[in-house]
Amino acid sequence: MTTETAPEAGATAPDAYAPTDRTVPSRSRERARYDRATVHAILDQAYVCHLGFVRDGAPVVLPTLFARVGDALYLHGSTGSRPLLAAGRTDPGLPVCVTVTHVDGLVLARSAFHHSLNYRSVMVHGTAHQVTDEAECRTALNALVDHVVPGRSADSRPADARELAATAVIRLDLTEVCAKLRTGGPNDDPEDLDLPYWSGVVPVAPAYGTPVPAADLAPGTAVPDYLAAL
């Protein structure tokens, strides 16, 4: 685990997001990162984010697909979705918190107390706004498709007018952002080192299986190169 100190709120390094009171962790501050390269890499490797907002005075958290385009996140859903409706009908937009997390390892210590995970995560605070410009909406939808499988948007039919009318997209600008990471082995207490329990890390990594063709796919249709590259 690194011993470097996280920046104070308001301190900005080159090519980094400025820490704020909401993005400086109250615990394990040395794990925080604010540089764009780290934040963007964590976001770009995730498929699902969790969108948190307040509805009727109560917190709600929804898992959803997303994509990053530059310094903005795009999330989509039905035009009847409550958060998307709220983002479109309120003048200042919808205050939200978006998170993504990768689990990279199971950290098993000799004591139950010191068990942990190796992880990479990003938290974004801000105000989401509904995208109303058709060109930006199409850009966002293509980015969402390509985020799942790079190159797929060019190899599928684009949304028609009816589908665009049934789809809402919200944008969250990356302004108030923090990444947090844990790496390394367990932090066993010195007095526990002689205990007869296994201690270490079990790596966790995503895996892709062999593509399964649709039942109605024309016989002999080859798997596209961009998909085989996964």
pLDDT tens digits, one per residue of 145-195: 999 999 999 999 998 989 888 888 999 999 999 999 999 999 999 999 999
pLDDT tens digits, one per residue of 62-92: 999 999 999 999 998 665 566 666 655 556 7
| The pLDDT of residue 78 | 60
Mean pLDDT (the chain) is: 88
**pTM to 2 decimal places:** 0.86
Band of the pLDDT at 14, cuts 50, 70, 90?
A: low
Least confident of 7-11, 156-160, 221-225: 7-11
Residue range 31-50: mean pLDDT, rounded: 94
Q: Which domains does the chain have, with CATH numbers?
A: 29-187+219-228 (2.30.110.10)
Q: Are 129 and 83 in contact (CB under 8 A)?
A: no
